[in-house]
Structure 1
Amino acid sequence: MSCQLPADCLNEIFEYLEKDKVTLHSCLLVNRLWCEISVRILWRNIWIPVGYEHRLKVETSILNTLIACLPNKSKTHLLEKGILNSTQISKSCFFDYPSFCKVLSIHMIGQMIIDVFKNQKYLAKEIMKMFMTRSYLKKLSYYNNPNTLNLSFIRYPRAKDCFTRLTKLTCSSDIKSVFFYKLSQISFNIQSLTIEFNGTISEDLKNLIISQNNLKNLSLSQPFFSMTDWSDIIPSLIKHSNTIIKLKIYWEACNLLIRTKKLSFITKFLNLQELVLSFQRNDHFDEINNILQYSIFPHLQILKFPYRYPKVDILIKFLKNNGKNLKEFYINYTLPILPVNDLLNLKISRYCPNLKLLSTLFKKVESLKIFFNRCQQLECFETHYNYGLSERDILGALAEYSPKNFFKLKLLYYSYSQLTPDDLEEFFINWKNRLQQKSFYFTMIGKFNNIDDSYINRLKNDENMKMIEKYKKLGIIKKFEIINH
């Protein structure tokens, strides 16, 4: 007699697969119990992008399912308009799929309808009415682009119930003001807010921000060609300075007239645990360089500079004041024009002794050794093989000098790996012989503009993979993956 896992166990397992849509879809086909559990997770967020080659097939499948779920009145209306045929309206569904949806992406719905039906505003309207009457949304994504549905869905019947539980909003600032006004009357518990600044900023967006009770995560983005001056919105943001623990600023704007002249407000957020400053140009830091060196964030645990970073002397002073509690530190060295600075690395190790994750480059093995000796809590190291130490030097240093808690390496590539089977075996033997050793996680990430399968195939050549599989069976490697990024 076969043994069937209880539903609560299956649910916990399937939760880990939420972003793996292919595997979740396979779970639907096992049996009725698996289907009933996995379908709710699969449809919780159906807007996760898929590869271009499968996009149209997936979009068609999603839209056909949503059409089958439409009430009979909507189907009849669309049949009379010549948008649907008798075959389409005759289909029914096993589940009430819209009720499972907790995430809604307005611009992605518009893109799907354009891709599959070319352009059908009537269909979009009926689908949105259905979501408003059957869903209780937790996340809403609403960007104003050519494919965005120009519908007043916020005024539809039962929209109030639909958005009352909203906790996450991502939007552009140039959405019609009535949307922000109505939402400010409905949703008071948004905890995560992402704003992309385009065009004007309405008073109603400010009111929406002010009306929130517990805003925790804030992301602000200034696109490359945006001319929006968002200084007027800063007082609304500062109102939440005591509750915001994550702040991310993406600044791509090239217009120097609106350059970060108002970014000094970040010093008001004294309870920050995570700070991400993603600036495309060095001079974007000019306005805040002087204040950064004196800023103190006593709870800061994560600090990231995905593109450029402040002047080295400024950054060192900042780390001196804020590095004690840092758990993650990230500097992007993907641009060759950024020199490898071992002096900065040594200062990081001095002022940030409790780091668990580090992403940077090292020029000398000796500097990496010193870093490992000082940062005994380090668990993960992420680096770019092309611009710093060689792969062999990195693996050798890890095996000999990394602290006892270390177990994960991520190598980013802009060219082919130079590792040989002998290099890998030497590392695995040395790792096995460590006095204190955890099973190793090894990730190779290729970052190319026009990557092809030959790159992946070369990384997965037979001899290297045989070596990796050998030490997987021995328990030395816990996980090995190659990611085409």
Structure 2
Amino acid sequence: MPWQQLPADCLNKIFEFLEKDKVALHSSLLVNRLWCEVSVTILWRNIWIVIDNSFDDQHRLKVESSILKTLIACLPNESKTHLNENGILNSTQISKTTLFNYASFCKVLSINNIDQMIVNTFKDQKKHLLTEEIIKMFMKRISSLKELSIYANNSNNLNLSILNYPETKDCLTKLSKLSCNSNIKSDFFDKLSQICNNIQTLTIEFNDIISNDLKNLISSQNNLKSLSLRLNYDMTRDVITSLTKHSETLIKLKINWRNLYWNRKEQTLFITKFTNLQELVLSFHHKECFDGLNYTLQHIVFPQLKNLKFLHRCPEDDVLIKFLENNGKNLKEFYINSSNTLILLAIAEFCSDLKSLYILFKFDKIEAIKAVLNNCQQLECIETQYYYGLLKEKILLEILAKYSQKNFYRLKLHYYSSSQLNPKDLEEFFIYWKNRVQQKLFHFTIIFKYLEYYKVSNLKSNESIKMIEKYKILGNFEIITLNKKIIKLPIQ
């Protein structure tokens, strides 16, 4: 069967894998009518991804304008007439129609993105009328919203009309993911808690004001599984108490704590209540944030813990080693910004089933690195950094080729300086790798944090590209710059 004639159900399964690749989905719209009808529903399921992933301001504004024009064209006639009478839309804008009812395809709604799009396009004081009409349209057209994002920089300016329509209850009853901040008006959280009781993923940013009814929204959920907290200011005791009520169901917890406050114990000790966690991510920007946790972490056991990440600071070495001794046997993924030999040896001893590891490798820690590779025989992926003082790329590749186990196949290297790899180094590695007993194709991803480092890198030379092309049968090689644009090299 020609690929253009695949049935709709097959196309739908294929396009599901492209949900975040909006460029590919948009191209699919142009193949034929069937492809268009199938791909458009997935493209518009979360249209805000296009805005969030825009490379620069100019591109973002262009995308915002296109989405806003489409949403305006989707508005019902009574809304267009109302906006025309108030001088917001002109006769040309209200006369446009669309091929599809795009708003009905949306399963994710971002109130802030709607507000921002309108602010960037309409400068007058009546912009809130357009926001209200678009939100009203979503509430009427979406049968069951899955995700809602709503953040207030100033609660008096945030458009909260989403709860004012009779269709809202049906639209939000099955809401499974909510992202918000703490300073939205209290009556908003009170009304929302009466409608939404099945939120499974909750993200909250805590600011200087915490609405009184936020605790009620948290307590009213029946099966909360994933919780993400950004602590710009302290949580209240009532909120912490509400959170701990979900200790039986919660399996994912992420905390981002950038600022440092005095009551560190109260703000962190509640973590130990969630003993059914499968994933724990702590993004603490000050080592002192662990003060209230250090003693407890040495004794707490998370029997189900599979993913553990310390994105910035980590506990004291002796505390972390004891924690790994108690919890390392089930870990599949471990992320830590450390190059400490004791930590490497603890990983080798206690985390034998590890599949993915992010860690720093210093030039004088080669024996500890070998211990990790020898003992962690299920290890598939290593992610690390390269800059002055860390292990040279050439040596790292040699160690991986000689000592990694047969399951290992992926390396991600983050650059904070220019790469010193040359064509000869690459060929030596490829020859080593070619002679291994390998189960999967090798994946080598290089991520340059600053574009200028790529521009002066040896990897940019034609000789390096030719070398990669010569050994492309071994796997995939890609370079990613800071703006997420993939520099494609000739490996398929």
Q: TM-score range, shorter-chain basis?
A: over 0.9
CA contact (8 A) 2:359 2:384 kept: yes
Partner of 1:356: 355
Deviations 1:178-197 (A, max 9, x none): 11111111111100001100
> Which segments of 5 or more consecutive residues in structure 1 lack a partner in the other structure?
334-339
Q: TM-score, normalised by structure 1?
A: 0.93
Aligned partner of residue 257 in structure 1, secondary structure: coil
Aligned partner of residue 382 in structure 2, secondary structure: strand
Of residues 411, 414, 434, the one that matches 1:412 is 414
Partner of 1:337: none
Partner of 1:336: none
> Which segments of 5 or more consecutive residues in structure 2 lack a partner in the other structure?
485-492
Amino acid at match of 1:480: E
Aligned partner of residue 224 in structure 2, secondary structure: coil
Of residues 191, 196, 199, the one that matches 1:187 is 196
Partner of 2:222: 213
Aligned partner of residue 99 in structure 1, secondary structure: helix
Q: Which moved more, 1:128-137 or 1:64-73?
A: 128-137
Amino acid at match of 1:413: Y
Cα offset, 1:200, TM superposition: 2.8
Amino acid at match of 1:199: D
Partner of 2:449: 447
Cα offset, 1:454, TM superposition: 5.6
Compute the RMSD of aligned alpha carbons: 1.8
Q: Which moved more, 1:381-390 or 1:300-309?
A: 381-390
Partner of 2:476: 478
Partner of 2:297: 292
Cα offset, 1:462, TM superposition: 1.6
Deviations 1:304-337 (A, max 9, x none): 000000000000000000000000000125xxxx
Of residues 161, 164, 170, the one that matches 2:173 is 164
Amino acid at match of 1:181: D
Amino acid at match of 1:149: L
Amino acid at match of 2:248: N
Partner of 1:321: 326
Cα offset, 1:258, TM superposition: 4.3
Cα offset, 1:30, TM superposition: 1.2
Cα offset, 1:482, TM superposition: 2.8
CA contact (8 A) 2:317 2:342 kept: no
Amino acid at match of 1:152: S
CA contact (8 A) 1:328 1:355 kept: yes
Relative to structure 1, is the Cα distance of residues 38 and 183 closer, same or farther in structure 2, using a 3 angstrom cutoff?
same
Partner of 1:108: 113
Partner of 2:404: 402
CA contact (8 A) 1:407 1:440 kept: yes
Residues in 2 aligned to 1:141 and 1:422: alpha-carbon distance in whole angstroms = 50
Is 1:15 matched up with 2:16? yes
Is 1:424 matched up with 2:426? yes
Deviations 1:315-364 (A, max 9, x none): 0000000000000000125xxxxxx3112101111011100001112232
Relative to structure 1, is the Cα distance of residues 477 and 308 closer, same or farther in structure 2, using a 3 angstrom cutoff?
same
Cα offset, 1:461, TM superposition: 2.6
Residues in 2 aligned to 1:177 and 1:61: alpha-carbon distance in whole angstroms = 34
Residues in 1 aligned to 2:246 and 2:166: alpha-carbon distance in whole angstroms = 31
Deviations 1:420-461 (A, max 9, x none): 01111111111010134531000001123xx35963886433
Relative to structure 1, is the Cα distance of residues 2 and 362 closer, same or farther in structure 2, using a 3 angstrom cutoff?
closer
Q: Which moved more, 1:436-445 or 1:286-295?
A: 436-445
Cα offset, 1:142, TM superposition: 0.7
Q: Which moved more, 1:457-466 or 1:50-59?
A: 457-466
Relative to structure 1, is the Cα distance of residues 20 and 118 closer, same or farther in structure 2, using a 3 angstrom cutoff?
farther
Residues in 2 aligned to 1:6 and 1:17: alpha-carbon distance in whole angstroms = 17
List aligned pairs for 1:27-426, cutoff 5 A. Answer: 27-48=28-49, 49=52, 50-51=54-55, 52-119=57-124, 120-135=127-142, 136-145=144-153, 149-223=158-232, 226=233, 228-254=234-260, 256-333=261-338, 340-363=339-362, 364-386=365-387, 387-426=389-428
CA contact (8 A) 1:222 1:253 kept: yes
CA contact (8 A) 1:431 1:437 kept: no
Partner of 1:467: 467
CA contact (8 A) 1:468 1:477 kept: no
Amino acid at match of 1:116: T
Amino acid at match of 2:347: I
Q: Which moved more, 1:381-390 or 1:143-152?
A: 143-152
Residues in 1 aligned to 2:211 and 2:69: alpha-carbon distance in whole angstroms = 37
Of residues 438, 442, 463, the one that matches 2:440 is 438
Residues in 1 aligned to 2:392 and 2:108: alpha-carbon distance in whole angstroms = 43
Deviations 1:212-240 (A, max 9, x none): 111000111112xx3x4433211111111
Residues in 2 aligned to 1:395 and 1:458: alpha-carbon distance in whole angstroms = 16
Residues in 2 aligned to 1:311 and 1:428: alpha-carbon distance in whole angstroms = 39
Identity %: 61
Q: Which moved more, 1:186-195 or 1:460-469?
A: 460-469
Amino acid at match of 1:237: L
Aligned partner of residue 416 in structure 1, secondary structure: coil
CA contact (8 A) 1:456 1:482 kept: no
Residues in 2 aligned to 1:456 and 1:24: alpha-carbon distance in whole angstroms = 35
Aligned partner of residue 229 in structure 2, secondary structure: strand
